[in-house]
Structure 1
Amino acid sequence: MDIRIEEQDGSVREFQMETASIPYLTRPGSVRYKVAAGRPSDFQHHINGPLFTTGEFSWGVSNGWSMYGGGVVGGDYNALAVGIGRDLMLLGALSFDMTQSRASLPHEKATLSGSSYRLSYSKRFDDYDSQVTFAGYRFSERNYMTMSEYLDARTYGVRSHSSKEMYTITFNQQLRDLGLSAYLNYNHQTYWDRPASDNYSLTLSRYFDLGQFKNMSLSLTGYRNKNNNSNDDGMYISLTMPFGHSGSLSYYSSLSSNDNTHQLSYYDNINDHDFYQINSGTSRNGVMAVATTAIKGMRRK
């Protein structure tokens, strides 16, 4: 992090402070929060599930310490999370959280409750313009369910792909001479009821100007998902440009052996805290149109 201090006599002092960031760390005395609501849809873009509400917060307890949490409530599923984060300065940043879920499955005539625990670590190396994020290790009990797992069990009547352990490593590198940012990600996932899977992805992104359009961004991602001795390869392309006073226009394309998706989105701020987003696109499975409104904010005591 670059620090610049301008004294009253006009003199300037500049120096760098090494630090790392985890999304849930918040400045002392500040509160960050997000709230959203909606209904899930299936691959054919049909509404398929109950209305749900989700939210999260982070509170800067003191210098270096933050408390955070969140929850999801929808139909017969709810989950609540709480955690704590610590800025270790030169050593990076560390956080730990626990999530408790409860889901009622009508096909099994049972209610399942379980917990999931996650340890996250982030470290930045300023000399190399890089950051390694170990986001890290997650262990989930057999009866713990994410909302995605609950919706699959609710729709198909069978619970499968119950997560057990997950290891994640993300490496970010700034290639300033080329004007590029590179992101390398690896996930190893084990399950209670099937063999493990591995996911690899590489993303290259760049900001650039084109004529009167400034601060445009282009991102290209290639990935491989390895599951049951078979590979699923694909790529994503994303292009974003400023549009209007405070809005942005984005094009997104996903190409894989299973589906090709093209999506156009418009995003704009309503005020300092609220925004709306409109999405429209096509895929092999049909046409979709989605409108989203979300409320987020930051409050300082």
Structure 2
Amino acid sequence: MLQGFGLDLSRLPVDTTQPDQACFDLPGRVEFARVDYQPAALRLTISVPQAFMSRGTRGYVSPELWEQGETAGFINYNFNGSRRRNKGLETDQYYLGLRNGLNLGAWRLRNESSVVRSSDRPLRYRSNRTFAQRDITALKSQFTVGETFTDSQVFDSVRFQGAALASDDGMLSDSERAYAPVIRGIAETNATVEVRQNGFLLYSGSVSPGPFEITDIYPSGSNGDLSVSVIEADGRVRSFTQAYASLPIMVPSGSLRYSLAIGQVDSNDELQASPGFTSAALIYGLSELITGFGGVQLAEDYQAANLGAGVNTGLGAVSLDVTRSVSQPDQQSRSGQSLRVRYANTLDVTDTTLAVAGYRYSTEQYRTLSQHVSDTDPQRRVTSTGLARDRLELSVTQILPAQAASLSLTASEQRYWNLPGKTRQLYLSYNAAWHTVNYSLSIERNEDFGRDSDASTDHRIALSVTVPLGSSPGSSRLSFNVVRDSSGDYNAQAGLNGQVLGNRDTFYSVQAGNDSNSGSFGAGKINTTTGFGRFEAGYSQGQDYDAFTLSAAGSLVAHAGGVNLGQTLGETFALVQVPDVSGARLKSYTNVATAANGYAVLPYAQAYRTNWVSLDTRQLGADVDLDNAITQVVPRRGAMPVVRFKAAVGRRVQFELVRADGSKVPLGASVEDEQGRALAVVDPGSQALVLSDQDSGSLSVRWSDQRCQAAFVLPPRDPARAYERIRVVCR
């Protein structure tokens, strides 16, 4: 009974002094709980603190509702072609990228390939990757076999041929997917709890008197303290701040992430070794503040182990992990360690977001699995690009609300064991707005310190200004861009872009400018998005060259109902069927409409979540009836479910029903067709609006214990009329 009231029995204190069959003293067992019985009103009021109540999981959909989808094959294509003339020499270049798929039951077969052709090279086809995948509901994971990649959260990702099993966050509820704090407190009355981050309201909910525990908080960013307000019933407000910072590897308390892989390293080089290997990684939320993680990699003449933890401290989130490797590529053992530190935090006082990550390879003998495979090839060892010694990365973003601006800095420095000197990259940008004008200033600097600290420096400074030429969302925009590098070379251009004749799906862009090396130039392009793809054409011309480019991207889907063209497909997509109706548009999807076979390709859907699909009934016309214009679908990852709408198609006719004696048919009379299907109800004017699938036939009208028949013949269809009006005699 207590479970029926919504109590979480696992949270109730255990009383070993009472027998199992004794009455449960709720107020005596649970502090702040209250039971109030009012005999006169026959009312029983039970109040239990929120901390002892069962809590639903936001965003979670039961696996019973996950749809496996239907058998289908598809091709995703991305074509780019160009013809260039430079000083009289003409060259053609064509590229076609393909992502092919076949869904059979629970399995998803995928292939990624390309076709390349140019003036000096013949047509060449290459298959880049082929694999099969299916989800494992009981394990909340994805099983993959074929050419794929290992998980990259603990070890560096490796391409391999084999099998992998990895947890899928998409199957989890929102509160289990990402690390979030647990907020605890005590309410004195029936109170409202509000949680804000950076001034934005993240949560608002009611709690009963007593302790509360809120677990379904989803911060808008990975960092930034949370401001909690407890608003009591009498208006009193108590506030406190809860520190919060997170790193991508951190997970909620009790949550588990894992990945297993076994197979052969795929080096994409026929001359390079492809040793067999096994890789395993585990991430677990040890508490509300600490996430532990680790893993092992085993291959021929190679072993590596990793162990680390991430902690949410009051001063930000920090993670530390150590990897030890033992490599024997040439019968000589090499062992080393790699220490990695990551830190992230947001300073609310100054609106500064800081993320810093430091990698330090403590010995020259440390190797990743990919580096070990390279070491087995003597030629690659000699020409190696470098063994990383230490690397420092810094990313800082500063919000400047008074200037409606932001300042961001990204910097990194890398040193190597087997190469002299170091490399350093820095990127600084300032973005702001003045009224409707947006502008940005950015600086890029790359330094390569060679032997004897001689530095090769390359830097660029860029200014960009965008001015809208109107206040409407579709107004054209004027842009100015200037770039100058350390050698004094520059590129300056002005451009204009916007919608074509107010069409929100077709855009143009023209530019003109001057380059210090190639002189003056001009360019223009136009692109459009249709229900069956995105297409673009462009032309550019300079002093000694001109070029014409074409591109197209879309999909072709073959299924039991026929073949349909569509926009570029996501990992998970769907078909929409409106039987016998073409041109039915879908809301929230640009230019997606049913084709002549009544099907439309829905290019993307969110796996394991409820996706609402609705038709734009304004485009259907009067001759289509829908049972429901909105429905939902919950696809599994990679699935292609079919969303079916029940529709009736015919001619809309308003019948004026007159009895043989000239009197009207009474209000509320039922109108049926010859098969007894209900069509309409007679209105006060003895009229009935019917959707008829026949040009001639008979209507049956019933009321009380009486009935009559009305034969009709419809006139030829008039496209200018929304519906026909005819008078019939009911005998």
User: Please, what TM-score do these two structures have when normalized by structure 1?
Assistant: 0.58
One of 158, 162, 166 as aligned partner of 2:391: 166
Per-residue deviation, residues 40-70 of structure 1 (Å, max 9, x unmatched)? 335x799863344434222111221221112
Q: Secondary structure at the match of 1:133?
A: strand
- Which residue of the partner structure matches residue 328 of structure 2? 104
Q: Say if 2:409 and 2:426, in contact at 8 Å, map to a contact too.
A: yes
| Structure 1: distance between partners of 2:256 and 2:458 | 41
Larger-Rg structure: 2
Matches within 5 A, 1:56-205: 56-89=281-314, 91-106=315-330, 109-126=331-348, 130-155=352-377, 156=379, 158=381, 161-172=386-397, 184-200=409-425, 202=427
Counterpart amino acid of residue 266 in structure 2? P
Q: Say if 1:25 and 1:60, in contact at 8 Å, map to a contact too.
A: yes
Structure 1 residue 128 displacement after superposition: 5.3
Counterpart amino acid of residue 105 in structure 1? P
2:203 aligned with 1:4, yes or no? yes
Structure number with higher relative contact order (C-alpha < 8 Å, ≥ 6 residues apart):
1
| Structure 2: distance between partners of 1:176 and 1:151 | 51
| Structure 2: distance between partners of 1:119 and 1:5 | 36
| Structure 2: distance between partners of 1:183 and 1:275 | 36
Counterpart amino acid of residue 274 in structure 2? G
Counterpart amino acid of residue 101 in structure 1? S
Per-residue deviation, residues 80-137 of structure 1 (Å, max 9, x unmatched)? 1001222103x1012221111011113xx31211112222222123455542112125
Per-residue deviation, residues 20-46 of structure 1 (Å, max 9, x unmatched)? 21223222222222345663335x799
Q: Say if 2:445 and 2:457, in contact at 8 Å, map to a contact too.
A: no
Structure 1 residue 195 displacement after superposition: 1.9
RMSD after superposition: 4.6
Structure 1 residue 193 displacement after superposition: 2.8
Q: Secondary structure at the match of 1:27?
A: coil
- Which residue of the partner structure matches residue 250 of structure 2? 25
- Which residue of the partner structure matches residue 652 of structure 2? none
In 2 relative to 1, CA 47–182 (structure 1 residues): closer, same or farther, beyond 3 Å? Answer: farther
In 2 relative to 1, CA 269–50 (structure 1 residues): closer, same or farther, beyond 3 Å? Answer: farther
Structure 1 residue 7 displacement after superposition: 0.5
Q: Say if 1:133 and 1:170, in contact at 8 Å, map to a contact too.
A: yes
Counterpart amino acid of residue 81 in structure 1? N
Structure 1 residue 192 displacement after superposition: 2.7
In 2 relative to 1, CA 17–224 (structure 1 residues): closer, same or farther, beyond 3 Å? Answer: farther
| Structure 1: distance between partners of 2:397 and 2:281 | 26
Q: Say if 2:310 and 2:320, in contact at 8 Å, map to a contact too.
A: yes
In 2 relative to 1, CA 35–127 (structure 1 residues): closer, same or farther, beyond 3 Å? Answer: farther
| Structure 2: distance between partners of 1:182 and 1:36 | 42
Counterpart amino acid of residue 309 in structure 2? I
2:572 aligned with 1:246, yes or no? yes
In 2 relative to 1, CA 127–51 (structure 1 residues): closer, same or farther, beyond 3 Å? Answer: farther
Q: Say if 2:411 and 2:427, in contact at 8 Å, map to a contact too.
A: no
| Structure 2: distance between partners of 1:169 and 1:144 | 24
Q: Say if 1:22 and 1:94, in contact at 8 Å, map to a contact too.
A: yes
- Which residue of the partner structure matches residue 151 of structure 2? none
2:265 aligned with 1:39, yes or no? yes
Aligned residues: 232
- Which residue of the partner structure matches residue 50 of structure 2? none
Q: Say if 2:296 and 2:303, in contact at 8 Å, map to a contact too.
A: yes
Sequence identity, in percent? Answer: 26
Per-residue deviation, residues 235-257 of structure 1 (Å, max 9, x unmatched)? xxxxxx9845836xxxxxxxxxx
Structure 1 residue 157 displacement after superposition: 5.6
In 2 relative to 1, CA 5–116 (structure 1 residues): closer, same or farther, beyond 3 Å? Answer: same
Q: Secondary structure at the match of 1:142?
A: coil
| Structure 2: distance between partners of 1:16 and 1:45 | 58
Q: Say if 2:272 and 2:374, in contact at 8 Å, map to a contact too.
A: no
In 2 relative to 1, CA 33–128 (structure 1 residues): closer, same or farther, beyond 3 Å? Answer: farther
Q: Say if 2:273 and 2:376, in contact at 8 Å, map to a contact too.
A: no
Q: Say if 2:352 and 2:396, in contact at 8 Å, map to a contact too.
A: yes
Q: Secondary structure at the match of 1:68?
A: strand
Q: Say if 1:25 and 1:66, in contact at 8 Å, map to a contact too.
A: yes
| Structure 2: distance between partners of 1:175 and 1:51 | 53
Q: Say if 1:136 and 1:167, in contact at 8 Å, map to a contact too.
A: yes
In 2 relative to 1, CA 186–245 (structure 1 residues): closer, same or farther, beyond 3 Å? Answer: closer
In 2 relative to 1, CA 75–171 (structure 1 residues): closer, same or farther, beyond 3 Å? Answer: farther
- Which residue of the partner structure matches residue 50 of structure 1? 275
| Structure 2: distance between partners of 1:176 and 1:45 | 56
| Structure 1: distance between partners of 2:241 and 2:568 | 31
| Structure 2: distance between partners of 1:54 and 1:176 | 47
| Structure 1: distance between partners of 2:276 and 2:318 | 34
Counterpart amino acid of residue 49 in structure 1? S
- Which residue of the partner structure matches residue 207 of structure 1? none
12-21 or 121-130, larger mean C-alpha shift: 12-21
In 2 relative to 1, CA 246–158 (structure 1 residues): closer, same or farther, beyond 3 Å? Answer: closer
Q: Say if 1:188 and 1:196, in contact at 8 Å, map to a contact too.
A: no
Q: Gaps spanning 5+ residues in structure 1: where? A: 205-221, 235-240, 248-265, 277-301
